[in-house]
Amino acid sequence: MKQDRFLTGILIGIAVIVIIALSVFLMRKDNLTYVNDDTPEGVIQNYVVALHKRNFEKAYTYLADLPVELIDLGILPDDLDRLRDAFAHVDADLLVTTGGASVGDHDLVRPALEAAGGVIDFWRIALRPGKPMMAGRRGAMQVLGLPGNPVSAFVTALLFVKPLIAHLSGAANPLPRSTMAILGEDLPANGPRTDYLRAELRDGRAYASTIQDSSMLLTLARSHCLIVRPVDAPVARAGDSAEILVIA
């Protein structure tokens, strides 16, 4: 990272795996001046953020209220050497990738980052959707590797990317703010991962979508909130209170 960069400046690179292609987005600091509602009084930040609109269509909304500008820098092939070189030359405070961080033959983000001199802090978390989440570093640059499935990418962007940008921009309370809602129907017991269920709010009650597959964008588009189901949560009944994150 350049030594003459403003202390509070954020430079973010975003890379997105689409089938066998990597779309790269580089966030360059510019002369944009923006004061976010969560930014401490008197603190002004300069940021430019890049975001892949296809896989981050809905996440765009949640980053747009931060001091960011979204820039698409095109596509790179899903090739280890090309990815390594791309990661090695990103001059950023934060690099975000989507896809390529699981265990398939084309999941090359981890080896490419390590080949570029990066280190992995953690990989795979107890979260649904979003298990193949990765975090690491290359020098002073932070790296977040999000899953490739669009719903998983959205949820992890909401839970990790937005809070990190908010934290770096000086927000006093960067974490998502939850609220409580009454369940409109029963929910089964949960397993060993925290579950974020897409749900609709109707007549003041939360109804989880029937289909929760992480590739189904339609249920996400129809959702007003995410119902948070803790690890090993017991059966919940209609009329019970549940924690939710409002997303629409």
Each residue of 12-70: pLDDT tens digit? 544 443 222 233 333 333 332 232 334 343 333 333 333 344 455 555 555 666 666 55
DSSP state, 218? H
Write the DSSP string, 30-85. Answer: -S--B--TTSPTT--B-EE----TTTTTTHHHHHTTSS-------EEES-HHHHHH
Q: Is it the case that residue 121 has pLDDT exceeding 90?
A: yes
Do 27 and 12 meet the contact criterion of CB atoms below 8 Å apart? Answer: yes
Q: Regarding predicted confidence, which is higher, 128 or 89?
A: 128
pLDDT band at 5 (very low <50, low <70, confident <90, very high): very low
Q: What are phi and psi of 171, to 5 degrees?
A: -65, 140
Pairwise CA distance, residues 121 & 141, whole Å: 13
Residues 6+ apart with CB under 8 A from 118: 87, 136, 137, 138, 143
Residues 6+ apart with CB under 8 A from 93: 1, 9, 10, 11, 12, 140, 141, 142, 168
Q: Regarding predicted confidence, which is higher, 173 or 180?
A: 180
pLDDT band at 222 (very low <50, low <70, confident <90, very high): very high
> What is the percentage of the chain residues whose pLDDT exceeds 90?
37
pTM > 0.85: yes or no: no
β-partners of residue 135 are: 122, 144
Which of 77, 90, 81 shows the shortest CA–CA distance to 136?
90
Q: Regarding predicted confidence, which is higher, 87 or 69?
A: 87
